[in-house]
Amino acid sequence: MTGYLTTHVLDTARGCPAEGLKIDLYKIDGESRTHLKTLVTNDDGRTDEQILPAEKFETGTYELVFHAGDYLTATGTPPEEPRFLDVVPLRFGMSEASHYHVPLLLSPFGYSTYRGS
């Protein structure tokens, strides 16, 4: 079995997929943080390609950084200064070669995540 990483972002305040949300992927190694990729969600709130495909998959610690503030501004959510949620980092470990799905449920004042399938 090979591993890979995907996500799905849902805007729970608007009740729809979060289209156009920028996501950065980082590999974490101790105190080192290496940028691997930047993607943007499509009209279904997913990325058009796997965030980390099987041929690049390695176990370890990673971070997905969701640029929620830019997305909220683009969708017309009234801004406050500073915005309560701007950049949402999710740090997680992948310990085996399998499908890791890390979704984000987002609203202007809260978010949640889980290991999906």
Give pLDDT tens digits for 60-87: 999 999 999 999 999 999 989 999 999 9
The predicted pLDDT at position 1 comes to 65
Q: What single string gives the DSSP state of each residue in 31-91? A: TEEEEEEEEE--TTSS-SS-SB-GGG---EEEEEEE-HHHHHHHTTPPP-SS-SSS-EEEE
Q: What is the pTM of this model?
A: 0.96
CA distance 117 to 30: 28
* Closest residue by Cα to residue 18 from 42, 56, 45: 45
Helix (H) or strand (E) holding 27: strand 22-29
pLDDT, the chain, mean: 96
d(CA 103, CA 11): 11
What percentage of the chain has pLDDT greater than the value 90?
A: 97
- Give the closest residue to 85 by CA, choosing from 62, 102, 106: 106
